[in-house]
Structure formats: structure tokens, C-alpha cells
């Protein structure tokens, strides 16, 4: 093996470590909570020893913050573009962009990060500002723009936009929390499918938003 290849092999492992540790940490922090997760467990799940964890993250707390940053760092940008380009109805826009996005989040490990925020903010108040800035505000702004667009075009009733946004978003977040709390404990309720529910919820809200006299939101 050449020196370059050697270095590469070693490098490859080293480069992969932080991600492996973050993945392990997310799983365990979400499952057991930060305080109840031992640093060594995280290391073991990542396939390294206790000491190695500390080569990459200076403390368990910094590891938590890195996990949060990774999974809740701004991901809204893509959505913004979609909103700008869309030229159909606001109802379609919401159904497309929004329900797809939440399905993806729910299916991804990032869904657990919401539980982490809920469980740990009060112990690590720095997280509050980060979450507010990176998730809450851009998220509400994005959905708010869509709703406002519908109101402006006469497609929706002139509702309180912020409230409508909450009606749309809160159940989605709750689905994420549920997935990693009760949902992981009880046998799946027959007949409940989160993905189906997302669509149903949007439909219901869209019917609530629809302007009287305007055509009702189409069922697909």
C-alpha cells in the first residue's frame, strides 16, 4: 500500500467518525434522554471506545449540541424556492411542498431531534435560541407565506395567518414527538398511518381555510 493510500484509509475512518458518533448519539439521546445516556454507550454504538468519543467532541454536552445542529440546522431554504416558483393554487402548494416535507422529516432520524428539543431545552437554554432561529421562525415564515398567498389571491378566507400556521404545524411536530415516545412503545394502532394523516389534516385545514363561494379545496 502506498503512503497515500495508507493515509487515505486512516483518513477515511477518521473522517467518518464524527458522523458515526452523531448518529449513535441521536439515537440514544432521543431514546433515553440526554442525562440517562452514558457517553460510553454512545461510543460503543458508534463502534469506538469511550476515549475516542472525546477525541471528536469535548464533552457530552457539546455532542448534544452538535446533534441538534446537524438535524435542525436550516433546511427550510429548499422550501422557500419551491414557494417562489409555484404557480398553481395555494392549496396545491401546501399539499405538495408541505406534506412531502413532513413525510420526509418524519421518516428521517431528524424527527427525533424535535423530541430532543422538547426534552432538553430547559436544561440547555442555548438550544432555545438556536431552535427558534433555525426552525421555528423560518418554518413559520415559510408556511405563513403560503397561507398569506392564498388569502391574498382570494383562495382562502382572510384568517389569522399565524394561527392557521400553528394549526398546520403543531400536529406535524407532535407526530414527530409521538414517533419517538409513545409510538415507539405501544403496538402500532391499527388503522393509524402518519403519512395518511398528514394528508387528511391538510385537507381538513384547507377546507377550513377555503373561501365561501370559492370552489372547495379538491380532494385528490
CA dihedral 52, 54, 60, 65 (to 10 degrees): -100
Q: Which of residues 122, 188, 213, 220 is near its own copies by CB under 8 A?
A: 122
Eight-state DSSP code of residue 187: P
Q: How many CB atoms lie within 10 A of CB 174?
A: 11
Binding-site string for its own copies from residue 134 to residue 163, where x marks contact by CB under 8 A and - marks none: --x--------------------x-xx-xx
Number of residues that bind DNA (CB under 7 A): 23
39 binds DNA (CB under 7 A): yes
Q: For residues 194 and 175, is the Cβ–Cβ distance under 8 A?
A: yes
Give the contact letters, 19-38, x = binds to DNA (CB under 7 A), - = no. ------------------xx
- How far apart are the C-alpha atoms of 144 and 160, rounded to whole Å? 10
Looking from the CA of 204 toward its CB, the CA atoms found within 13 Å total 9
- Return the one option of DNA, its own copies, none that residue 170 interacts with (CB less than 5 to 8 A, by type): its own copies
d(C-alpha 10, C-alpha 145), whole Å? 48
CB of 202 to its own copies, least distance (A): 10
The yes or no reply on residue 32 touching its own copies (CB under 8 A) is: yes
Contacting residues toward DNA, per CB under 7 A = 1, 6-7, 9-10, 13-14, 17, 37-40, 48-52, 54-55, 58-61
Amino acid at each position: 500500500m502506498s503512503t497515500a493510500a495508507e493515509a487515505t484509509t486512516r483518513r477515511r475512518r477518521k473522517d467518518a467518525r464524527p458522523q458515526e458518533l452523531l448518529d449513535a448519539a441521536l439515537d440514544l439521546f432521543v431514546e433515553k434522554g440526554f442525562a440517562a445516556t452514558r457517553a460510553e454507550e454512545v461510543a460503543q454504538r458508534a463502534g469506538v471506545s469511550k476515549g475516542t468519543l472525546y477525541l471528536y467532541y469535548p464533552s457530552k454536552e457539546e455532542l448534544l449540541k452538535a446533534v441538534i445542529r446537524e438535524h435542525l440546522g436550516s433546511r427550510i431554504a429548499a422550501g422557500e424556492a419551491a414557494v417562489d416558483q409555484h404557480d398553481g393554487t395555494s392549496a396545491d402548494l401546501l399539499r405538495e411542498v408541505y406534506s412531502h416535507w413532513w413525510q420526509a422529516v418524519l421518516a428521517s432520524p431528524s424527527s427525533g431531534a424535535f423530541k430532543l428539543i422538547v426534552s432538553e431545552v430547559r436544561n440547555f437554554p442555548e438550544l432555545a435560541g438556536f431552535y427558534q432561529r433555525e426552525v421555528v421562525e423560518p418554518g413559520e415564515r415559510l408556511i405563513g407565506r403560503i397561507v398569506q398567498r392564498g388569502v391574498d389571491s382570494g383562495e382562502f378566507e382572510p384568517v389569522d395567518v399565524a394561527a392557521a400556521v400553528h394549526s398546520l404545524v403543531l400536529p406535524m411536530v407532535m407526530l414527530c414527538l409521538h414517533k419517538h415516545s409513545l409510538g415507539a412503545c405501544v403496538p402500532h394502532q391499527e388503522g393509524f398511518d402518519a403519512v395518511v394523516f398528514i394528508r387528511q389534516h391538510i385537507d381538513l385545514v384547507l377546507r377550513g381555510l377555503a373561501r365561501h363561494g370559492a370552489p372547495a379545496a379538491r380532494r385528490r
